[in-house]
Amino acid sequence: MKKSIITLAIVTPLTLIVINLGLKQNKTNFQSQIDSLNRANDSLLVKIDDNQKLINRIDSLNEVLENEIQSTKFKLGELNSKANIYKKLYNEEHNRIDTMSNPVLVREFTNAFD
């Protein structure tokens, strides 16, 4: 019995030392993994911030281009109105010339260059 108590007295502290060393090793591994994950998280946060800045710049550029599109559409509308007026005047003049007889057409042409 004395022998088993001595064995128990020696084995128990050795077992505790081995367990303690194993726990310290795991703690070190976990801490290094946590540190690595924190660095990766910081890196991702920087990339997110950079991407947000890029999105804001693109949104600003998009707004400028949208304003230019609206301005161009307005100018095209004005030009379309003028084009319709000129087309109407052209068609009226074309129809007037088509309906003229040859002598009237010659007189009109001559009067235009006098």
Q: What is the pLDDT of residue 40?
A: 92
- pTM score, two decimals? 0.51
pLDDT, tens only, 77-114: 999 999 999 999 999 999 988 898 888 888 888 888 87
Q: Is pLDDT above 90 for 17?
A: no
pLDDT, tens only, 38-49: 999 999 999 999
Q: What is the pLDDT of residue 21?
A: 61
Q: What is the pLDDT of residue 9?
A: 66
Tell me the average pLDDT across 26-53: 88
Domain boundaries, the chain: 2-112
pLDDT, averaged across the chain: 86
Calpha distance 17→95 (Å, rounded): 112
Q: What is the pLDDT of residue 104?
A: 87
Calpha distance 81→15 (Å, rounded): 96
Tell me the average pLDDT across 56-77: 97
